[in-house]
Amino acid sequence: MYNEDFRKNWFNILKFNSKVSIVENPRKLDEKVRIPLTPIQIDAFLLYNLFAVLYPRFISKQQNILDIIVSDFDIDNFVFGVYLYKTNKPGVHETVEILPNDLVGIKQENLGDMNEIFNKFQSSILKDHNVKVNSIRIIKKRGLDLINSHYGKISNSTNYDIFRSFLDLMQISINSNLIAMYPEPYILKFLRNNINLLEDIKLSSIFAFIEDLIPSFNILVATASNQLSFGVNLEKIESKTLKSDIKVKILPIEREDYELNSYGLLTDIKNAQQTFMVDNVFNINLNGILKFLSELFENEIPFDKEILRLLFQKFLYGIRGYDLHWSMYPKPKTFSTLIRFLMKLLGIDLNLKKLSHWAIPDYIFGLFDTFVGLNAKILLIITTSKKNNDINNQTPITLLLEIENGSLTKVKYITEKELFSGIDQESLDSIRFAYSERFGFITNILIINKNLIKSILNTFIFKFHKISMFSILKVLKMLRKPQFFQIYPEIPPYSLLKRKNSFFFLKDLLKIVIDKHNF
Partner 1 sequence: MIKNSKVNSTDVAITKNDSPTKTINNGIELLGGISRFIGKEDKVFIKINLRAPSGFPVNVSIDSLRALIILCKDAGAKKIYVGGFPNYGVKTSTLNDTLGLKYYLEKLGAELIFLDDEELAPFSNIDINGKNIEYPTRVLESDKLIILNQVSVDPLFKCTLSLLNCYSLVSSKSQKIDKVIRSGKDYLLLDQFKQDLISHILDVFSIKKPCLVINDMFYFLEGAGPFIYKDSNLIRTSLVVSGSDAVAVDLITLNLLKIDLLSSEILLEARNRKLGITNGSEINLKGESLDDNKLIVNFSVYKLNEITINNTYLQTGRICSGCFKEAYYLLNFMKTHMTKDLKYIRTQSMLIGENPPEPDTVENIIVFGDCALTTTKNRDFRYIQVLKKDNIIKTVGDKVKKEKSSQKKPIVKEKVNKSIIELPGCPPDMLMSLNTILKYYGKTQAPNLSFYNALLNQFGYKESGKLMKKKGVTNDV
Interface residues with partner 1 (CB under 8 A) are: 356, 358-359, 362-363, 366-367, 369-376, 404-406, 429-430, 432-433, 436, 440-441, 443, 488-493, 495-496, 499-500, 508-509, 511-512, 516
- How far, rounded to the nearest angstrom, does the alpha carbon of residue 19 sit from its chain's CA centroid? 33
- Alpha-carbon distance 204 to 161, whole Å? 9
* Shortest Cβ 360–partner 1 spacing (Å): 9
- Between 346 and 367, name the residue whose CB sits nearer to partner 1: 367
- Between 206 and 367, name the residue whose CB sits nearer to partner 1: 367
* Shortest Cβ 433–partner 1 spacing (Å): 5
- Alpha-carbon distance 288 to 37, whole Å? 27
- 309-337: b or e for each residue (b if 16 or more CB lie within 10 Å)? bebbbbebbbebbbebbbbbbeebbbbee
357: nearest Cα among 296, 310, 424, 295: 310
* Shortest Cβ 132–partner 1 spacing (Å): 44
- Between 225 and 436, name the residue whose CB sits nearer to partner 1: 436
- Between 79 and 510, name the residue whose CB sits nearer to partner 1: 510
* Shortest Cβ 282–partner 1 spacing (Å): 29
- Between 103 and 487, name the residue whose CB sits nearer to partner 1: 487
- Between 138 and 431, name the residue whose CB sits nearer to partner 1: 431
> To which H or E segment does residue 74 belong?
none
- Determine phi and psi for 405, rounding to 5 degrees: 50, 40
Using omega within 30 degrees of 0 as the cis cutoff, is the peptide bond preceding 332 cis? Answer: no
* Shortest Cβ 135–partner 1 spacing (Å): 37
- Determine phi and psi for 403, rounding to 5 degrees: -120, 130
* Shortest Cβ 295–partner 1 spacing (Å): 22
Q: What is the CA radius of gyration of the chain?
A: 26
Angle at 436 between CA 430 and CA 442, to 5 degrees: 95
Q: Can you spell out the DSSP letters for 214-225?
A: S--EEEEEEE--
* Shortest Cβ 508–partner 1 spacing (Å): 6
- Between 131 and 364, name the residue whose CB sits nearer to partner 1: 364
- Between 41 and 427, name the residue whose CB sits nearer to partner 1: 427
- Alpha-carbon distance 353 to 323, whole Å? 9
* Shortest Cβ 365–partner 1 spacing (Å): 8
- How far is the first Cα of the chain from the last one, in angstroms, to the nearest whole number? 65
| Helices of type H across 155-230 | 159-175, 186-197, 203-213
* Shortest Cβ 358–partner 1 spacing (Å): 8
- Alpha-carbon distance 519 to 354, whole Å? 10
- Between 23 and 496, name the residue whose CB sits nearer to partner 1: 496
Cβ atoms of residues 445 and 396 within 8 Å:
no
- Alpha-carbon distance 413 to 175, whole Å? 17
